[in-house]
Amino acid sequence: MSREDPAVSGAVSPAASGAVSVASEELAGAREHTREEAGQAASRGAVDKSRLPKGSSALRSPARRSVGELRLSLARRLTDRDREIVRALGRYRVLTTDQLAEMFFDTRRRAQVRLVRLHEIGVLDRFEPHRSSWGRRPYHYVLGPLGAAVLAAERDEDPDRAARRWRSERTLALGRTQRLAHILGVNDFAAALVAQGRRSRTTRLLDWLTEAEAARWTDGIVRPDGWGVWDEEGSAVEFFLEYDRGTETLARLAAKLRDYERFETERGATAWVLFAFTSPRREARARAALQAATVPVATAVLSPPALPSDQVWAPVSPDSSRVRLAVLAALPKPPEALRRAERNSARAWRFDRSRPDDDEEAPIETP
C-alpha cells in the first residue's frame, strides 16, 4: 500500500460518490420494477394514434438491466480507495470503523460517511457486537455480497458464485465468536503500523501477512498471528507476531519456540518472534517461561497509548532494556539461531518473499 497513493490518503470525490449513488438507485429501481398490463395504461382519446414503432407490442416490457449488469456497472464506479478497503477486508476478515479510518482516511468522520455508503449499496456489511456495560462499540465491517463479487472478479474468480456464497448469518456468527477480540487485537497491531507509515515519511510497514497468509507461506511449520517487515529511517526489522490474550498456557507459548527453531532450519534465516501481551503480569510470567529460547524473542505490553513501533520491546536476554521496534534489527541474536541459519542458508530461496508466486492474492476469507 503506497503512502503516496491518493486512493489511500485522498478524500472521496463528489463525482465518485455521486456515481455510486446513481448506480445504487438503478439497482433499487430494478428490484422495484412493476409490470403494466396493456389495459392499465391511462385512457387516451379514440382519435390518438399509437406512437409505438410499427411491429412492436405494448405487451412487451421495456428492456432492463440484469442484476449482474448493475453489479458490474457499480463496480466500475468504485474509487481506488473503495477497492483497497475491499481487498483489506478480504485479507483481515473484519476491521472496525477506527481501524479503517487509520488505514485509509484522514479523519474518522470521512471514514464514517464513506463506510455507511458502501454498506448501503452492499459492498460492505457490518455488525455491532453486544456490550454488557453502558455505551456502544464501533461498527465492525466485513465484506458484503457486492464486495465479495468485486474481489472475486479482480482475482479472475466467479463473482456470481462469490456473491451466492456470502451469507449474512456468517457475519453475525463472527460477532459472537470468542476469537473476535483476538482477531481485532492483531488487526489493531497492523492498522497502527499502517497508520504511522501514512503519517510519516521515514517509517513504513514494508510487508505484512495475515495469520492465514503466514501459515501458507511457511508451509504450516509455524502459525503466527502475523508476519511483517517494519522500516524506520532505513532500519528494517523482520518479525513474527504472537498476540497473547492469556488464553493459552505458558507451556504452550514455550512450545511454539520449537516450531520457530524448525522454521529457521528449513528457511536458513532468522527473524524476531514478538510476543505482545495485554497485561504486565502476564508478560512477566511469560518471560520466565521463554528464557530458554534459542530464537530471537522480544516481549511487550501493548495497551493505549503505546504503539507497536514505540520503545516497548524487551528482548529475552540478560540485557532486557526496552527498545523501539526498529532497533531490534541492530541487536544481537542468539548464537544458536545464527548457526542454524548459516548451516541451511542454501534453502532460503524456498521462502523468498520476492518470488512472483508469493505475490498472488490470498483466497477470499469469509466470516
pLDDT the model gives residue 289: 95
* Domain stops at, among 157, 176, 195: 176
Is a pLDDT exceeding 90 seen at residue 75?
A: no
Three-class SS state of 230: strand
CATH code, domain with 80: 1.10.10
* Contact criterion met (CB below 8 Å) for 93 and 365: yes
Rounded mean pLDDT of 244-250? 94
Rounded mean pLDDT of 271-295? 96
Query: Could you report the per-residue pLDDT of 227-242, keeping only the tens digit for each?
Result: 999 999 999 999 999 9
* Contact criterion met (CB below 8 Å) for 205 and 194: yes
Cis peptide before 304 (omega within 30 of 0): no
* Domain stops at, among 176, 204, 223: 176
The span from the CA of 239 to the CA of 229, in Å, is: 6
Pair (153, 207) in one structural domain: no
pLDDT category, 10, cuts 50, 70, 90?
A: very low
Pair (169, 294) in one structural domain: no
Pair (208, 153) in one structural domain: no
C-alpha grid cell, residue 180: 473476535
Pair (218, 293) in one structural domain: yes
pLDDT category, 51, cuts 50, 70, 90?
A: low
The DSSP letter of residue 164 is H
Rounded mean pLDDT of 138-167? 86
Does the residue 107 lie in any domain?
A: yes
The span from the CA of 321 to the CA of 316, in Å, is: 10
* Residue at grid coordinates 428492456: 63
Range of the domain at 139: 6-29+67-176
How many angstroms separate the first and last alpha carbons of the chain?
24
Rounded mean pLDDT of 69-95? 86
Which amino acid type is present at position 180? L
Does the residue 40 lie in any domain?
A: no
Stretch (H or E) spanning 228: strand 226-232
pLDDT category, 291, cuts 50, 70, 90?
A: very high
Distances (CA, A) of 150 to 69, 159, 207: 13, 7, 24
Pair (324, 234) in one structural domain: yes
Is a pLDDT exceeding 60 seen at residue 80?
A: yes
The answer to whether the predicted template modeling score (pTM) of the entire model surpasses 0.85 is no
* Domain stops at, among 161, 176, 191: 176
Domain count for the chain, please give it.
2
Which amino acid type is present at position 218? T
Is a pLDDT exceeding 90 seen at residue 354?
A: no
Is a pLDDT exceeding 60 seen at residue 19?
A: no
pLDDT the model gives residue 6: 34
pLDDT the model gives residue 5: 40
Distances (CA, A) of 318 to 32, 220, 315: 71, 32, 9
Does the residue 304 lie in any domain?
A: yes
Pair (186, 170) in one structural domain: no
